[in-house]
């Protein structure tokens, strides 16, 4: 999915033109405008696409304006390669805890690069699959060792995986550490009910 094509704008569109096009399309496709269940569902999916496209364009703008910014280096973790819109959509699904939608979208992407493995690692962690998460995070990190986001994920998952294999879940609760499912709250600022009661 080309975010510019989704918004009906050119890649040279100004910030104001992008925002204007986005607002008009959101108003036109708002789910509340439809009473038919199928039409409402289609409008909801269309709204998700528009939000994803707009977020991706905004991220690209910020990346291009940042001095010395790169697509995946230490100064920026904005992924702008192939399937960028789909990967951004998966991040949105994860932030909303829509794990099934995230998995289905990941499975549909044939490109198994660092971003794919990184998001697969986050998904596995949210599902409590620590071994799988560690494998994916390692592959993501080795694909791009300069990517801070991948490096942080690999280090965090490795530590949590070791704790889990050593029966550390109960010790984590006593030390008030976040559980594995909440370890990546920096992505969507989400935490389970038990972790919300703790202080980090």
Q: Are the C-beta atoms of 87 and 94 separated by less than 8 Å?
A: no
Helix, strand, coil tally for the chain in percent (to 5): 70, 0, 30
Which residues does 146 contact at the CB level (< 8 Å), separation at least 6?
72, 73, 74
Band of pLDDT at residue 192, cut at 50, 70 and 90:
low
pLDDT top residue among 28 and 190? 28
Q: Which fold has domain 1-67?
A: Helix Hairpins (1.10.287)
Chain segment 151-184, per-residue pLDDT in tens: 888 988 888 877 766 665 455 545 554 555 454 4
What is the value of pTM for the model shown? 0.54
Chain segment 95-150, per-residue pLDDT in tens: 788 899 999 999 999 999 999 999 999 999 888 888 999 999 999 999 988 888 88
Domains in the chain: boundaries: 1-67, 77-200
């Amino acid at each position: 999915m080309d975010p510019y094509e989704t918004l009906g704008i050119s890649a040279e569109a100004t910030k104001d033109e992008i925002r204007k096009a986005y607002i008009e399309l959101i108003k036109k496709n708002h789910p509340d405008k439809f009473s038919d269940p199928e039409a409402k569902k289609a409008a909801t999916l269309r709204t998700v696409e528009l939000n994803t496209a707009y977020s991706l364009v905004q991220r690209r703008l910020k990346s291009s304006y940042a001095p010395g910014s790169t697509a995946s280096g230490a100064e920026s973790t904005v992924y702008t390669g192939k399937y960028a819109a789909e990967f951004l959509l998966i991040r949105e699904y994860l932030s909303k805890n829509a794990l099934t939608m995230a998995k289905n979208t990941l499975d549909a992407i044939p490109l198994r690069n660092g971003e794919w493995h990184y998001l697969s690692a986050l998904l596995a962690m949210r599902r409590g699959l620590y071994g799988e998460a560690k494998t994916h995070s390692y592959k993501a990190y080795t694909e791009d060792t300069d990517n801070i986001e991948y490096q942080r994920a690999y280090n965090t998952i490795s530590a949590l995986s070791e704790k889990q294999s050593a029966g550390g879940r109960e010790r984590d609760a006593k030390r008030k550490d976040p559980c594995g499912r909440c370890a990546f709250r920096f992505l969507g600022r989400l935490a389970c009910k038990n972790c919300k009661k703790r202080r980090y």
